[in-house]
A = this chain, B = another copy of it.
Amino acid sequence: MANGQGGPEIERLIGLLAKLPGLGPRSARRAALDLIKKRDRLMRPLAQALMDAANHITECENCGNLDACSPCNICAAPGRDQALICVVQDVSDLWAMERAAAFRGTYHVLGGTLSAIEGIRPEDLNIARLITRASRDGVSEIILAMNATVDGQTTAHYITDQLSGTGVSVSRLAHGVPVGGELDYLDDGTISAAMKSRRPF
């Protein structure tokens, strides 16, 4: 009862919930109470889903995606164009691309970006496997979809260099005004990038 939260079982649950990104101590307490109230329709199913995911989710040996099988369902899908590889920093970016449903090729998940400050080097990322894939799979185009940050773009340049001998063409996502975005709220770099890439109307 050190923190006055109903014994060690509840305290332990709250302590673990509070470690989730987006949940602080206060919302962890609310979540714990809500889970106890919804014991059979939320708490037990969540425990089971966590255990299932912990036991079955693995990193795809081909692309680095997370799935219950390797190669993952995207790499193994007959309808996906194996000649196109979209390179993303993280699995969350792959998910965002899939939600947008704007790409029917395959992916390669780097697991981060190069970073001088954080000491992240090429060998710390899933880059060597990308070069191997690019060299042998009948790949025609690599689309770099890293974040438009300094580290993201440093990583994009590094990968472009590494791919220079393969004959594969390398592209990147266009910069520009987000759909629905207001100019007034955009930074100068985005506006000038959008201006440079302007297209006939």
Give chain A's interface residues, CB within 8 Å of chain B: 1, 3-10, 12-13, 16-17, 19-23, 27, 29-36, 39, 42-54, 56-57, 65-69, 72-74, 90-92, 94-99, 101
Contacts and interface: CB of A to CB of B under 8 A. Distances in A.
A20 B16 contact: no
Closest 7 CB pairs of A and B: A4-B98, A22-B27, A47-B50, A47-B51, A13-B49, A16-B46, A20-B31
A33 B96 CA distance: 13
Q: Which of A1, A7, A17 has the most CB of B within 10 A?
A: A7
B73 A3 contact: no
A35 to B, nearest CB: 7
A42 B21 CA distance: 12
Contacts of A68: 7-9
A185 B194 CA distance: 44
B35 A44 contact: no
Contacts of A33: 66, 90-92
A10 B35 CA distance: 20
A97 B4 contact: yes
B95 A5 contact: yes
B47 A43 contact: no
A10 B30 CA distance: 24
A80 to B, nearest CB: 11
Given A30-B22, A50-B43, A57 B1 contact: no
Contacts of A7: 67-69, 72-73
Contacts of A21: 27, 30-31, 34
A98 B2 CA distance: 9
Q: Which of A27, A33, A66 has the most CB of B within 10 A?
A: A66
Contacts of A97: 4
